[in-house]
Amino acid sequence: MLTLKNVAVIGSSGGIGQAFVDVLSLQYPHAHLYPFSRTGKYQIDYASEDSIAEAAHTASNSGPLDLVIVTNGMLHSKEIMPEKSLKELSREKFHHLFEANTIVPSLIAKHFLPHLNRDNISIFAALSARVGSISDNQLGGWYAYRASKAALNMIIKNAAIEIGRRNKNAIIVGLHPGTVDTDLSRPFHKNVPMDQLLTPHQSVTKLLEVLASLTFSQSGKCFAWNGEEILP
């Protein structure tokens, strides 16, 4: 297990975010846990960089952060579904998906990374996706979502290089949670065998095991829930 005293979970009202809060609360009952969401005790406005900065200061008031988990993301909405062909592309889809999947996590990294623990191992992890891998893409489609996650993976790599120069104890990674039974992936479950569909609790438990096994040489990479490295 990791040594955790101060932990922040951003996007804690979602299925995976809430599971992180639940599992971390059980595994680390004495840690200071800050679950940020649009509603609740620790509120954050993702559209406001000032709000993101304030959240980072709030979470670090009790000491440097040992773990920051970013679970924000968007695949579809009532108005937006993943594209199957070029003719379905639109400026609006790209704006919405890049805002949720790339811009918001990047700004969270901007303000939370400086507060990572410098004396002991600290981890910043953002939920990415296997479909963000260019080399793994064999099916096509899902243009905006794939592109936004690929961009997030590049942000993670860049941040790992930069932060690694001044915080030798920091590890920054992307995480692929698998196909999880949440609102984000539910419309696509019909194509997933039941034995490959994870509950949020199962996914998060595995992801925490992955995080606990990481070394500094793996900073900047992306890993699946089963520990497999996802290539760019």
Instruction: Give the model confidence (pLDDT) of 142-201 as tens digits.
Output: 999 999 999 999 999 999 999 999 999 999 999 999 988 776 555 555 565 556 789 999
| Amino acid 24: pLDDT | 97
CB atoms within 10 A of CB 62: 12
Give the closest residue to 113 by CA, choosing from 71, 44, 72, 173. Answer: 173
The number of domains in the chain is 1
The boundaries of the domain holding residue 30 are 6-230
Say if 115 falls within a structural domain.
yes
Say if 136 falls within a structural domain.
yes
| Amino acid 187: pLDDT | 59
CB atoms within 10 A of CB 11: 27
Say if 147 falls within a structural domain.
yes
Say if 32 falls within a structural domain.
yes
CATH number of the CATH domain containing 76: 3.40.50.720
Collapse the DSSP code of 140 into the 3-class scheme (helix H, G, I; strand E, B; otherwise coil) and give the result: coil
Q: In degrees rounded to 5, what are phi and psi of residue 113?
A: -60, -40
User: Kind of pairing, strands 122-127 and 170-176?
Assistant: parallel
Q: Is the pLDDT of residue 128 over 80?
A: yes
| Amino acid 185: pLDDT | 55
Say if 1 falls within a structural domain.
no
Mean pLDDT across the chain, nearest whole number?
93
**pTM here?**
0.92
| Amino acid 186: pLDDT | 58
Say if 171 falls within a structural domain.
yes
Contacts of 35 (CB under 8 A, 6+ apart): 9, 12, 17, 21, 41, 42
Bridge-partner residues for 82, per DSSP?
Answer: none
| Amino acid 138: pLDDT | 83
| Amino acid 197: pLDDT | 83
